[in-house]
Amino acid sequence: MHENLAPSCNYEDFDDKVISGSRDGPILVDFWADWCAPCHAIAPHLERALRNLDGRVRLIKVEVDEGENMKLAGHYRLRGFPTLMLFHAGQELGRFSGARAAHWIQHWIEEHLAAAGD
């Protein structure tokens, strides 16, 4: 699920793909930048964590330096990259920044989904 393999979205279709899309199941949004080494470092850990969740959570990537995507970073008050946000039922369940290990990411997702009753 490296940058070019995961579905992506942009400022114009974020509401449709993420907010509305999360009503059909949880979506983890990876706000990343090509110049960001931790953004590249987390990619295989995201892949592993999501694989371990057996497709229960979808990943969508937002390249913050493309088009008007930095407006999304401003809207959500993102301070650094990568920042990952978990959405479900049209709402943000949580977020974290920085590279993390797969087991940490998986536990974080499971914890937030359990708190949301999913």
pLDDT grade, residue 4 (50/70/90)? very low
User: What pLDDT is attached to residue 6?
Assistant: 83
Catalytic residue, from 36, 99, 102, 116: name it. 36
What domains are defined for the chain?
14-113 (3.40.30.10)
Residue-wise pLDDT for 24-82, tens only, equals 999 999 999 999 999 999 999 999 999 999 999 999 999 999 999 999 999 999 999 99
Catalytic residue, from 9, 28, 29, 39: name it. 39
39 is known as an active-site residue = yes
Q: Are the C-beta atoms of 14 and 62 separated by less than 8 Å?
A: yes
- Retrieve residue 18's tokens: 């993420």
H/E run at residue 107: helix 102-115
User: What pLDDT is attached to residue 5?
Assistant: 62
Alpha carbon distance 108, 96 (integer Å): 9
What is the pTM assigned to this prediction? 0.93
User: What pLDDT is attached to residue 3?
Assistant: 42
pLDDT grade, residue 1 (50/70/90)? very low
At 66, which amino acid appears? Answer: E
